[in-house]
Amino acid sequence: MTPEFSAAKAEQADAILEFNRLAGIENATLEEMDQLASAIVRMGNANAAVEEFPKTQSPMRKRVAYDSDAAIQMIAQQRWLIDQIIPVDAFGVIYGPSGAYKSFCAMDMSACIASSMNWHGNDVDEPGHVLYIGAEGASGLHLRKKAWEIRHQRPLANLAILGMAVTINSEDHESLIGLCEELVEELDQPIRLIVVDTLARSFKGEENSATDMGDFVKACDHIREITGATILVVHHSGKDAEKGARGSSALRAACDFEFKVTSHGKKMTKISCMKAKDSDPFDDISFKLNVVEIGVNDRKGKALTSLVLSASTSGDDMRPDLTGHKQTINSLVASEMARTGEDWVFKTMVQDAFFAVLGVDKKHGATKTAWSRGMSDLLADGWLEIDANGRITRPNPY
């Protein structure tokens, strides 16, 4: 309700009160009769002023339905970005541990929607404009996008990458809506999908707080309501990947769909559907990641490369997911690299962090053994590499 409309309603109420007071007087004097006539004119003017304002409707009204048959017909006509995978006008999460290739999966889905290419056998029903928010940096995303274009020989002129963090549950989300409106005008094409990568870098507050997470979801819903785009949030799993995404369960409760990404080996990944509100959960889909050269060398002459997903039907090179201490070490390496922005981290730093996480000192025998075995397995399986100076690196982009 605007201030002007509020003032008009107040004037209308005062005019009605004045009319009722004067109309109720018995044996009114001539002066009182003149006042009543003036009150009638005032009330008519006030009513007319109120009528001039456009009728407002509660934003909840369009969610109210009396006709269940009609509602069921709407359900039967559910629209999909990717058939039976990602709905139109929905909110979902793709999560997994560090090194599981979840961002590669999100980029692959985005590219298929932008290019109208079916996603590994699933039709793209509503192709179009995609905005990918790279809150953890855009350089890797541009490499992945270019590698996808080279691999599939399809340009992605309508897949935009925003190389900065946007705090969704803050005033920033209104600026994001404004940006979306500008991008729609630039391409004359509605935005179908907005990817937020990652929640941690796009979130204000405590992830375990139902209130803070609820504010994040409300902001996503507001963005979705205004833009009409589906929102896909890339998120981390908790310390125990089997227990789902990190933080408050309010996030999962709000999801229309939820995907878990796990890696079964070097350059291998798998997507599992953990929740699908508008369809049956799809069967697990396994992928291998292929190295693609971008065609550009870095300043040291090394060819720039990235990875692109392709469906995998063979389990020959599969192995169990990273669990326990191996997952902890791998996550600590990823966290430290993200913090420093470097593609390496000193072994001693990761070791200190590992002991700190477990709450023991370096003299603790069982923990020393867990560290040694975990590092040995990660090095043997090719997850990590270490040089003579004790610098840990990853042989491939994750």
Beta 303-311 vs 285-297: how paired, if at all? antiparallel
Q: What pLDDT score does 57 carry?
A: 63
Q: Letter for the amino acid at 297?
A: N
pLDDT attached to residue 317: 46
Closest CA to 292 of 156, 398, 144: 144
Cα 252 to Cα 255: distance, rounded to the nearest angstrom: 5
Residue type, 299: R
- pLDDT tens for 257-285 read 999 999 877 789 999 999 998 788 999 99
Burial of 241 (0-12, 13-18, 19+ CB in 10 A): buried
Say what angle helices 3-23 and 30-52 make with each other, to 10 degrees. Answer: 150
Identify residue 214 by its one-letter amino acid code: G
CB 393 within 8 A of CB 344: yes
What was the pLDDT predicted at 8?
Answer: 85
User: Model's pTM, two decimal places?
Assistant: 0.66
Rg (alpha carbons) of the chain, rounded to whole number: 29
251, 211 Cβ separation under 8 angstroms: no
Q: How far is CA 122 from CA 117, 125, 127, 157, 356, in A?
A: 9, 9, 12, 22, 45
Q: Which helix (H) or strand (E) holds 261?
A: strand 257-265
Q: Which residue has the tokens 């404009």?
A: 129
Give 196's Cβ-side CA count (13 Å radius): 28
DSSP secondary structure string, 267-293? TEEEEEEEEETTSPPPPPEEEEEEEEE
Distance between CA atoms of residues 64 and 238, nearest Å? 37
User: For the chain (length 398 residues), average pLDDT per consecutive 10?
Assistant: 78 88 85 88 90 73 82 82 95 93 97 96 95 92 94 93 96 95 94 96 95 97 96 90 86 96 87 91 93 86 90 55 74 77 86 85 78 89 87 68
